[in-house]
Amino acid sequence: MDIYMVGGAVRDALLGLPVTDCDWVVVGGTPQAMLAQGYQSVGKDFPVFLHPRTHEEYALARTERKTGPGYHGFACHAAPDVTLEQDLGRRDLTINSIAAIPILKSDGSHFYSKGKAQPDLNRLTDPYGGLADLRAGVLRHVSDAFREDPVRILRLARFAARFPHFTVAPDTMALMREMVDAGEASHLVAERVWQEVSRGLMTDRPSRMFEVLRACGALAVLLPELDRLWGVPQRADYHPEVDTGVHAMMVLDHSAHRQTSLAVRFACLCHDFGKGTTPADVLPRHIGHEERSLLLLQGVAQRWRVPKDCKELAEVVAKEHGNIHRCRDFSAAALLRLLARCDAIRRPERFHDALEACLCDARGRLNFETAPYPQAERLRLALQAAQSVPTDTLAADTLRQLTGTTGLPAGKAGQAVAQAINGARERAIHAALSAA
């Protein structure tokens, strides 16, 4: 058996990036030989094994062919006669189709702890020109087999976001358009879409992913709620960039610049979906777009099976970002109502994330990239003041005052306690803002 390091580990080493995850391919091996050496079989669809010490994945060299629509419609052929070139030929991009012999330890062993292995960059197998494309900064498909897996459209878009200085080869872009026109993007499995999109959102320039998807037509299929924002105008006095789609990407990239969480970035992506459904006769105003954005993002979250934390934060931001932007004009009572709608007192961490998303929204405008955002500090101060109210003590005192009251209807005690707490919180907010 011959064992090679392949894929991202080789690519990243050639780019001078840290090698964190190692993928291995075994040429000339069999399942029986792998098991005899102590490997553990874990592959359900493909022959993949875990190394007994490092627990890294080792896959037998294989070829694949499409047998039906979607990611799972593939037949795999793994046998000792499958060559390294054949295995590399089934991969998506040329930059991911380079193999290397790993640097050996002094005892000749190539097994390292996870994340520590390094490829020998002087011993490369590069049958598809991946090294040249790395040097030229080009994302290019390996072969026409690219069209057999529509997930590769998403993967290429994600790599475009991770390496924003790379360009997409014209023939590859044309191939992706053909795939979209043939309906291939409609067959993508929801979990796979979210997996790739979420990874792309966490890059340094996530807008590039959506730029590529839009260029090949896939965005209109996968996320029409976002795709329809381009060409929709906004008031130039508030949005000098005017175009709503451009604004959405500026907001998203600013969230990446601030190294925010996945939930914040997803909220930034979805916050203005409703502007794409604004009636033409009221443009460039977008009255009531917050509620429309809420409904649209809920559909996306259901369609993609978005994790609960991402969905719930996006809902808060979509519904309340306009009020958060306007909060400098709110009274203490209005601020308390806003905090209540955001469930801020019970879930302060999520509320702080919502403020972060709103800051990105405010700065994701032409020439506003470094503008101050005092709304966030005002609302943090209001939340801190509301949280300072000793609710348990106040509730007990209120109930004691009600003791002996005659004719008090059932349930009125709870209402009285709630009113007392809200009143105390409102006064605390007023006092805190007055002293600021």
DSSP 263-285: HHHHHHHHTTGGGGG--GGGTT-
pLDDT of residue 44 exceeding 60: yes
What integer pLDDT is reported at residue 101 of this predicted model? 85
pLDDT of residue 84 exceeding 60: yes
pLDDT of residue 405 exceeding 60: no
Assigned token pair, 199? 């990874």
pLDDT of residue 411 exceeding 80: no
**373 and 257 in one domain?**
yes
Among 104-108, 347-351, 399-403, name the most confident range: 347-351
What integer pLDDT is reported at residue 151 of this predicted model? 95
Could you tell me if residue 415 is inside a domain? no
Q: What CATH number should be reported for the domain holding residue 329?
A: 1.10.3210
What integer pLDDT is reported at residue 105 of this predicted model? 53
**233 and 98 in one domain?**
no
Among 95-109, 116-130, 316-330, name the most confident range: 316-330
pLDDT of residue 382 exceeding 90: yes
**367 and 229 in one domain?**
yes
What integer pLDDT is reported at residue 75 of this predicted model? 65
pLDDT tens for 248-288 read: 999 999 999 999 999 999 999 999 999 999 999 999 999 99
pLDDT of residue 45 exceeding 80: no
Closest residue by Cα to residue 83 from 51, 60, 49 = 60
The average pLDDT across 118-131 equals 89
Closest residue by Cα to residue 147 from 183, 187, 176 = 176
**Of 129, 155, 181, the domain-final residue:** 129
Strands 23-27 and 48-50: unpaired
Could you tell me if residue 199 is inside a domain? no
The average pLDDT across 404-427 equals 79
**110 and 245 in one domain?**
no
What integer pLDDT is reported at residue 355 of this predicted model? 98
Number of domains in the chain: 2
pTM of structure? 0.90
The average pLDDT across 377-386 equals 98
What integer pLDDT is reported at residue 51 of this predicted model? 87
pLDDT of residue 370 exceeding 70: yes
**Of 387, 405, 422, the domain-final residue:** 387
What integer pLDDT is reported at residue 113 of this predicted model? 41
Work out the angle between the directed axes of helices 308-325 and 262-270 (0-180°, nearest 10): 60
What integer pLDDT is reported at residue 117 of this predicted model? 66
63 or 429, which is more confident: 429
pLDDT of residue 189 exceeding 80: yes
Could you tell me if residue 310 is inside a domain? yes
**Separation CA 391–CA 398 (nearest Å):** 10
Least confident of 31-35, 72-76, 154-158, 311-315: 72-76
What integer pLDDT is reported at residue 116 of this predicted model? 57
The average pLDDT across 141-164 equals 95
| Environment class of 226 (CB within 10 Å of its CB; exposed 0-12, middle 13-18, buried 19+) | buried
Residue 317 belongs to what domain range? 223-387
Could you tell me if residue 237 is inside a domain? yes
Strands 2-6 and 23-27: antiparallel
**363 and 231 in one domain?**
yes
Assigned token pair, 304? 């993609």
Could you tell me if residue 33 is inside a domain? yes
**255 and 120 in one domain?**
no
pLDDT of residue 229 exceeding 90: yes
**253 and 121 in one domain?**
no
43 or 277, which is more confident: 277
Residue pair 356/262 in contact (Cβ under 8 Å)? The answer is no
Beta-strand runs (E) in 33-159: 40-41, 48-50, 57-60, 62-66, 74-78, 99-102, 119-125, 138-139
Contacts of 281 (CB under 8 A, 6+ apart): none
Could you tell me if residue 137 is inside a domain? no
**Of 62, 95, 129, the domain-final residue:** 129
Using 50, 70 and 90 to split pLDDT, how confident is the model at 108?
very low
pLDDT of residue 70 exceeding 50: no
**125 and 227 in one domain?**
no
The average pLDDT across 299-328 equals 97
For the chain, the average pLDDT equals 91
**Separation CA 48–CA 61 (nearest Å):** 10
**261 and 373 in one domain?**
yes
**361 and 231 in one domain?**
yes
Least confident of 108-117, 145-154, 200-209, 386-395: 108-117
* 47 cis-preceded (ω within 30 degrees of 0): no
**Separation CA 13–CA 5 (nearest Å):** 11
Using 50, 70 and 90 to split pLDDT, how confident is the model at 242?
very high
Could you tell me if residue 423 is inside a domain? no
Could you tell me if residue 22 is inside a domain? yes
**372 and 250 in one domain?**
yes
The average pLDDT across 307-317 equals 98
Residue 313 CA neighbour count, 13 Å, CB half:
26
Assigned token pair, 21? 């995850």
Using 50, 70 and 90 to split pLDDT, how confident is the model at 66?
low
Q: What CATH number should be reported for the domain holding residue 110?
A: 3.30.460.10
Residue 273 has phi, psi (to 5 degrees) of -50, -35
What integer pLDDT is reported at residue 401 of this predicted model? 80
